[in-house]
């Protein structure tokens, strides 16, 4: 099972403010993000799940939360731990799963993800949510694609 983090990150590491993106909408980034995760299960926290209820991402949502809950959505599954979340994704027949936030979920999965796809948003923004620090020597930049309003970076964990 390949685990891939997907996030949009400002130059100062900010990923959110008050549950929203702190920068103006970037339609090209939203499109590539939605297209990337459309056919795969996603792992996300409860607050992120609740914020996306009107337009749920992925084929299934694996909600990592300390408390089990009914979500009222057939495609949503509860997971109580990283191992539980991965087992749920595997039980759905997935060989790839995307980790889509929030900050605590990114932090928990950082030691075990295989790849990171990061939309680098130029500028520094005020926020209350940050992408976790990571050991750059454990990763290599496999691809960098510039767009008008962001740069898409794909990082792969070094196997050395």
Please write the tens of the pLDDT for every residue from 40-73. Answer: 999 999 999 998 988 999 999 999 998 867 788 9
Mean pLDDT confidence for 86-112: 96
Q: How confident is the model at residue 160 (pLDDT cuts 50, 70, 90)?
A: low
Range name among 7-11, 18-22, 142-146 with the lowest pLDDT average:
18-22
* Residue predicted with more confidence, 9 or 159: 9
pTM for the model stands at 0.95
- Looking at residues 118-125, what average pLDDT do you find? 98
Mind spelling out the 3-state secondary structure of the chain? CEEEEEEEEECCCEEEECCECCCCCCHHHHHHHHHHHCCCEEEEEHHHHHHCHHHCCCCEEEEECCCCCCCCCCCEEEECCHHHHHHHHHHCCCCEEEECCCHHHHHHHCCCCCEEEEEEECCCCCCCEECCCCCHHHEEEEEEEECCCCEEEEEEECCC
- Domains contained in the chain, CATH given: 2-157 (3.40.430.10)
Residue 65: what pLDDT?
92
Q: In the predicted model, is pLDDT for residue 155 greater than 70? A: yes
């Amino acid at each position: 099972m390949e685990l891939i983090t997907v996030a949009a990150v400002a130059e100062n590491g900010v990923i959110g403010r008050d549950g929203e993106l702190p920068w103006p909408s970037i339609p090209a980034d939203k499109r590539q993000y939605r297209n990337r995760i459309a056919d795969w299960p996603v792992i996300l926290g409860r607050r992120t799940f609740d914020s996306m209820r009107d337009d749920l991402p992925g084929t299934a949502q694996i909600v990592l939360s300390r408390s089990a809950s009914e979500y009222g959505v057939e495609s949503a599954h509860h997971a109580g731990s990283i191992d539980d979340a991965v087992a749920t994704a595997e039980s759905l027949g997935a060989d790839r799963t995307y980790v889509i936030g929030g900050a605590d979920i990114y932090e928990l999965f950082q030691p075990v993800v295989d790849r990171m796809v990061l939309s680098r948003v130029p500028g520094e923004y005020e926020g209350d949510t940050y992408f976790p620090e990571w050991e750059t020597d454990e990763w290599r930049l496999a691809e960098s694609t510039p767009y008008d309003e962001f740069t898409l970076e794909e990082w792969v964990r070094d196997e050395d």
